[in-house]
Amino acid sequence: MRPARWEAVAPAAGLPVSTPVEITLAEPAAAKALQASFAGAGVSAILVPTPSGTAQTVLFTEGLAVAPMTARHWAALAASRHARKPGAKLIFLQRLTADTGLEGLSRTLRREWADVMTACWTLLDDTPGEVIAGWLGSGSEDLWISPDGTARRAALGPFISPHAIPPAAPGLWLVTGGARGVTATCAVEVARQSGGTFILAGRSAETAWPEGVAETTEIKALRGLMASAAVQRGEKPSPAAIDKAARAALAGLEIRATLAEIRSTGAQAHYLQMDTSDPGSVEATLATIRQRFGAITGLIHGAGVIADRLVEEKTEAELRRVLATKAEGLFHILARIDRTALRHVGLFSSASAFFGNRGQSDYAMANAILANAGRALQAELPGGRVKVFDWGPWEGGMVDATLASHFKQQGVPLIPLAEGALIFAHELLAGDPADVELVVGTVWSDT
Ligand SMILES: NC(=O)c1ccc[n+]([C@@H]2O[C@H](COP(=O)([O-])OP(=O)(O)OC[C@H]3O[C@@H](n4cnc5c(N)ncnc54)[C@H](OP(=O)(O)O)[C@@H]3O)[C@@H](O)[C@H]2O)c1
């Protein structure tokens, strides 16, 4: 595990700017100001509603637009498709806010489009156009540019070893996605190390196990058993109905198993249904938690879904679903809790946020948003500890047997469940608060 740290970047002064240059008009005032600044630096740029596909350098202002988070990220992705041209340089601009993650797009495009250069430039404060013009000739890397013209980039720091966990008062934890998948494993380890009360939240209902059916965790076997039981009752459910009922039963089984495991550590555990992508559902669940348990002191956000598809084929609905669960979901929660009571925040991100990953532009953006949101939150909670884990693939959760064998064939090691959970608990409870974003799974850093 290595922390993401900053390092200064020297401007590649004097390098020629590849022309023609286009600037998208998504944020017209910014686009016009950039055009004027570039002209002052001797670079002529054309303002375009959509890239023409003929420019050698394209600056995207979609990330600067005053628009909702998901709309901004979709607009940038959609606009990028018009700009692809061998040898072109695509630069996505965004302001440094908690709800931005276009670096996920630029890093993914680097993996999907070998014939273009991409960069995401995050502008700190009101970085003037002249400063941006000064960086135009530089290479294709993601930069954080300051108004004084200096820039930095994220780089991996030295490997971190586990810290001893100091004793602390037991907290009240909300764990989204915490009843199932790898987040559940991590929640159990945090409970073992810290005690407290754990509210696990997910979309699934705590469905009871079907009567008269032997317990199994194998979906195929369960479908067979449930179909036979239905026939014995004189019913003829469709295969789709059997599958749905079997999945619900397995979800219920997994929820009860996680609750039991947390309770076996001596901690308290409860399950509440909540859909992080639905503000009404979040509002209602948080009201219940406030009334029944008090103020949340620890937030673990593990809810996440994937919808892998290459940028050129990605649909807006897929991107919306991926961002809604993870990124929008985080903000729905943060807007409705007493943030001053938070002592620990652990966000489940992915190595795709740091390195990009083919087919995962939306997922990489959602996770990159978590990194920026985590840094903003750490600044807001100087006495707290905010950690964003950019996980490589685990031996579980979303990584099913097929995916696991695919990773193994490619020589990508999987994070063992017990080890990942220990890393999570130790960093969240005792890690250096200065290291917010952590990349876990070394092979990702070699690729
Ligand atoms: N497994 C890996 O290799 C890996 C690698 C990198 C990052 N991650 C991240 O780790 C987290 C957990 O992944 P996983 O592999 O354990 O995935 P998983 O097995 O698919 O579990 C996803 C969890 O999120 C919950 N969830 C999904 N949508 C939700 C929503 N709208 N509201 C509330 N809960 C929701 C699910 O519960 P319900 O279905 O009951 O809602 C489930 O508990 C994710 O954020 C993922 O991006 C995983």
CA distance 242 to 221: 12
Say yes or no to pLDDT of 442 above 70. Answer: no
Query: Ligand 1, closest atom to CA 303?
Result: 24
| Residue 188 sits in the same domain as residue 313 | yes
Q: 396 and 182 in contact (C-beta within 8 Å)?
A: yes
Other Cβ atoms closer than 10 A to 43: 19
| Residue 385 sits in the same domain as residue 281 | yes
Q: What is the number of structural domains in the chain? A: 2
> What is the rounded (10 degree) CA torsion for 430, 433, 439, 441?
-10
| Residue 184 sits in the same domain as residue 140 | no
Q: The domain that contains 300 carries what CATH number? A: 3.40.50.720
| Residue 392 sits in the same domain as residue 442 | yes
Say yes or no to pLDDT of 156 above 70. Answer: yes
| Residue 238 domain flag | no
| Residue 176 sits in the same domain as residue 72 | no
CA distance 409 to 217: 26
User: Which pLDDT belongs to residue 163?
Assistant: 83
pLDDT tens, position by position, 402-419:
889 988 888 888 999 999
| Residue 364 sits in the same domain as residue 317 | yes
Q: Which of 87, 120, 155 is the last residue of a domain?
A: 155
| Residue 294 sits in the same domain as residue 324 | yes
By DSSP bridging, strand 2-9 and strand 151-156 are antiparallel
| Residue 336 domain flag | yes
Hey, whose CA ends up nearest to atom 9 of ligand 1?
348
Q: The domain that contains 134 carries what CATH number? A: 3.40.50
Q: Which of 2-16, 60-74, 110-124 has the lowest mean pLDDT?
A: 2-16
| Residue 101 domain flag | yes
| Residue 215 domain flag | no
The DSSP 8-state label assigned to residue 170 in this structure reads -
Range of the domain at 308: 172-203+274-446
* Residue 304 in contact with ligand 1 by CB distance below 6 A: yes
pLDDT tens, position by position, 54-105:
999 999 999 999 999 999 999 999 999 999 999 999 999 999 999 999 999 9
| Residue 432 domain flag | yes
Q: Which of 95, 122, 155 is the last residue of a domain?
A: 155
Q: 380 and 337 in contact (C-beta within 8 Å)?
A: no
Distance 420 CA to ligand 1 centre (A): 15
| Residue 104 domain flag | yes
pLDDT bracket for residue 125 (50, 70, 90)? confident
The DSSP 8-state label assigned to residue 18 in this structure reads P
| Residue 322 sits in the same domain as residue 433 | yes
Distance 447 CA to ligand 1 centre (A): 25
| Residue 117 sits in the same domain as residue 197 | no
| Residue 179 sits in the same domain as residue 125 | no
> What is the rounded (10 degree) CA torsion for 209, 211, 216, 220?
-100
| Residue 187 sits in the same domain as residue 76 | no
Q: Which of 128-137, 169-178, 387-396 has the lowest mean pLDDT?
A: 128-137
| Residue 231 domain flag | no
User: Which pLDDT belongs to residue 13?
Assistant: 63
pLDDT tens, position by position, 225-279:
999 999 999 999 999 999 999 999 999 999 999 999 999 999 999 999 999 999 9
| Residue 29 domain flag | yes
| Residue 68 sits in the same domain as residue 129 | yes
- Ligand 1: residue of 188, 203, 273, 443 to mutate (most ligand atoms within 8 A of CB) is 203
pLDDT tens, position by position, 351-396:
999 999 999 999 999 999 999 999 999 999 989 999 999 999 999 9
Question: Side-chain half-sphere of 255: how many Cα atoms within 13 Å?
Answer: 24
Other Cβ atoms closer than 10 A to 171: 21
Say yes or no to pLDDT of 218 above 80. Answer: yes
Say yes or no to pLDDT of 172 above 60. Answer: yes
- Ligand 1: residue of 175, 183, 206, 400 to mutate (most ligand atoms within 8 A of CB) is 183
Q: 125 and 146 in contact (C-beta within 8 Å)?
A: yes
pLDDT tens, position by position, 182-216:
999 999 999 999 999 999 999 999 999 999 899 99
